[in-house]
Amino acid sequence: MIDKQVSSLEEAVSEIFDGSTVMIGGFGEAGSPIELIHALIDKGSKDLTVVSNNTGSGHIGLAALIENKQVKKMICSFPRTANSMVFPELYRDGEIELELVPQGTLAERIRSGGAGIPAFFTPTSVNTPLAVGKESRIINGVENVLEYAIKADYSLVKCHKADRYGNLIYHATARNFGPIMCSAANIAIVQSKQIVEVGELNPEEIITPGIFVKRVIEITNPAHESELVAKQMKYPC
């Protein structure tokens, strides 16, 4: 029998080892798996390389993971947003590494990681500082740069509905990096607002097929990052 459900957040993240590469879903707060991130803070794994579009807000979620000095390197496209203080400060002090990647290149590197494509050529970033030092090639008269796939040891993703097979559907723009991060990780760990019986999800509408997911945990009422930031909450409290 296949049952990917775990009963506690602690168990969900229990294997994440020091030095892991961890992909964290979300575009700002939409799709950010805040409960799983807080569980990773409780676990205390260090020297992580985190792949996520942003660097979190306030002092909770991803920002709190960074503030807790668990992240040695961020791979992201947009590390400064409103209410993002933690990363900029550590970056200016030289205490955290940054690999800045154009958003579409980041997405395609993650997609490739899950699809068995080791690298690809893209016209994005040609003639800019982000292409410096990269292999380039003219294909059909257009210059392209070589970009390498990214794979992760773990992914932390949030979805709307899941079943015990790990089939997932998402809500609105919270889908963002979820599907590609599930496939690019050795172990994808998903928090779902609801876990339903196998067969309840319409096969025509499943977005992430269960094969890409290793663990699911039901978090019925996930916290809203913006509300916690507005209340000036910190994690750990």
Binding residues for another protein, rule: CB under 8 A, are 27-31, 53, 77-82, 87-88, 91-92, 98, 100-108, 110-111, 122-130, 170-180, 207, 224-226
What is the DSSP secondary-structure string of 51-108? E-SS--STBSHHHHHHHTT-EEEEEES----TT--HHHHHHHTT-SEEEE--HHHHHH
Quick one: 5 or 105, whose CB is closer to another protein?
105
Specify whether the backbone of 4 is left (phi greater than 0), alpha (psi in -120 to 50) or beta.
alpha
What distance lies between CA 72 and its chain's CA centroid? 16
Which tokens go with 226? Answer: 């913006």
Given CA atoms 155, 152, 84, 61 in this order, what sign does their dihedral have? positive
Q: CB 205 → another protein: shortest distance, Å?
A: 11
Length of the chain, please?
Answer: 237
- Nearer to another protein by C-beta: 25 or 235? 25
Q: Closer CB to another protein, residue 16 or residue 201?
A: 201
Residue 125 backbone zone (phi > 0: left; psi -120 to 50: alpha; other: beta): left
Q: State the nearest-atom distance from the C-beta of 179 to another protein, in Å.
A: 4
CB of 174 to another protein, least distance (A): 4
Minimum gap (Å) between residue 55 Cβ and another protein: 9
Phi first, then psi, for residue 81 (nearest 5°) are -140, 175
Residue 215 in tokens:
């663990």
CB-side neighbour CA atoms (13 Å) of 219 = 27
Measured from the CB atom, the residue of 118 and 129 that comes closer to another protein is: 129
State which residue, 80 or 231, has the beta carbon closest to another protein. Answer: 80
HEC per residue, 129-156 = HHHCCCCEEEECCEEEEEEECCCEEEEE
Between 38 and 45, CB nearer to another protein: 38
Nearest distance, CB of residue 11 and another protein, angstroms: 26
**Locate tokens 């020091």: which residue?**
18
Closest approach of another protein to the CB of residue 170, in Å: 7
Nearer residue to another protein within complex by CB, 98 or 196: 98
Q: Taking the complex as a whole, how short is the minimal distance between the CB of residue 35 and another protein, in angstroms?
A: 15
